[in-house]
């Protein structure tokens, strides 16, 4: 039986955990994961991330400054992000966002960086990729303020925040991405949030090398394991694996149109 076709919408193949990218891509294909987006989290690494996309047909890439690095890295500019987006396989802006869990002291810098990335998403027409942790109120406020100032597409990557932020994002027409966290046994509340979301606004991701779903929890995550998270998503919606995978494929290609 052939595995359903899936896209891992968010992974980090340039991280040192992956010295075997060719093998990782091959295992992903065997599991039905025919396409993946590897995310550059510091713009000085953009060249290396772009090279991975150039070297591997199924790999696309996105670039931004991760909020936990915003205070330590040069502030991104709209022009810099727009220039990177000229590459044919560069398909998203980010990840950017707000993280007050460990780095609340840099909240003001994170918010400035986030607004720069939002403007770049507007200019390029590429989707914004958002990381949000322990910052739900500011996240919802800034996304809403900026959307009123000019529309843009967006995915809430590795969504594990509260229901209010999920509803705010969905109300703006944004997407929620389901990671291995949604497959953890203790994530019933998170699964309930996904269950109440429209099926046509969901993506699947790994955030590899982090957050491996069962039965690989505690091990290095990799794009192939998106199939395990998608299986949980199918259960949440009472769908076959094939139907859920097909829905997330349509959603990915609608949002990440450049990778379609």
Assess if residue 151 is contained within a domain: yes
At 189, the pLDDT band (50, 70, 90 cuts) reads very high
In whole numbers, what is the pLDDT of the chain averaged over residues?
97
Whether 174 shows a pLDDT value over 80: the answer reads yes
- pTM here is 0.97
**155 pairs with which residues across the strands?**
129, 175
* Rg, Å, the chain Cα set: 17
Residue 161: name the closest of 184, 183, 182, 185 by CA: 182
CA angle, 224 as apex, 201 and 68 as ends, to 5°? 65
In a domain, 1, yes or no: no
Q: What is the pLDDT of residue 54?
A: 98
SS3 231: helix
Question: How far apart are alpha carbons 129 and 171 in whole angstroms?
Answer: 17
Q: Give the SS3 label for residue 93.
A: strand
* Confidence at 211, pLDDT banded by 50, 70, 90: very high
**In this model, does residue 248 exceed pLDDT 90?**
yes
Structural domain range at position 213: 6-259
Total domains present in the chain: 1
Does residue 217 lie in a domain region?
A: yes
What integer pLDDT is reported at residue 53 of this predicted model?
Answer: 98
pLDDT at residue number 63:
98
Mean pLDDT of 194-210: 98
Question: What is the rounded distance in angstroms from the CA atom of residue 105 to the CA atom of residue 102?
Answer: 8
Given this model, what pLDDT does residue 183 score? 96
102 inside domain: yes
Strand 128-133 versus strand 154-156 pairing type:
parallel
CA 204 – CA 63 distance, rounded (Å): 19
Residue 161, domain member (yes or no): yes
Question: Per residue in 11-30, pLDDT tens?
Answer: 999 999 999 999 999 999 99
- Decide the pairing of beta strands 90-99 and 59-63: parallel
Q: Domain of 151: which CATH number? A: 3.20.20.140
pLDDT at 2 over 90: no
């Amino acid at each position: 039986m052939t595995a359903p076709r899936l896209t891992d919408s968010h992974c980090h193949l340039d991280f040192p955990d992956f010295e075997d990218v060719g093998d990782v891509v091959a295992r992903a294909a065997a599991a039905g994961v025919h396409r993946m987006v590897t995310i550059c989290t510091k713009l000085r690494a953009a060249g290396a991330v772009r090279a991975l996309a150039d070297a591997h047909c199924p790999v696309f890439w996105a670039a931004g400054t991760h909020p936990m690095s915003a205070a330590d890295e040069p502030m991104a500019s709209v022009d810099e992000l727009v220039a990177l987006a000229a590459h044919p396989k560069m398909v998203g802006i980010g990840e950017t966002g707000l993280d007050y869990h460990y780095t609340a002291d840099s909240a003001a810098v994170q918010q400035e960086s986030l607004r720069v990335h939002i403007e770049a998403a507007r200019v390029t027409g590429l989707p914004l990729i958002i990381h949000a942790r322990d910052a739900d109120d500011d996240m919802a406020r800034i996304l809403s303020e900026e959307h009123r100032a000019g529309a843009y597409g967006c995915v809430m990557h590795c969504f594990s925040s509260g229901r209010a932020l999920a509803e705010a994002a969905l109300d703006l027409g944004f997407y929620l991405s389901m990671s291995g966290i949604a497959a953890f046994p203790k994530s019933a509340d998170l699964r309930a949030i996904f269950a109440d979301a429209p099926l046509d606004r969901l993506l699947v991701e790994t955030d590899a090398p982090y957050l491996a779903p069962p039965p690989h929890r505690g091990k290095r995550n990799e794009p192939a394991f998106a199939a395990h998270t998608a299986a949980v998503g199918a259960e949440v919606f009472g769908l076959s694996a094939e139907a859920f995978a097909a829905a997330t494929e349509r959603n990915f290609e609608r949002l990440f149109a450049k990778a379609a």
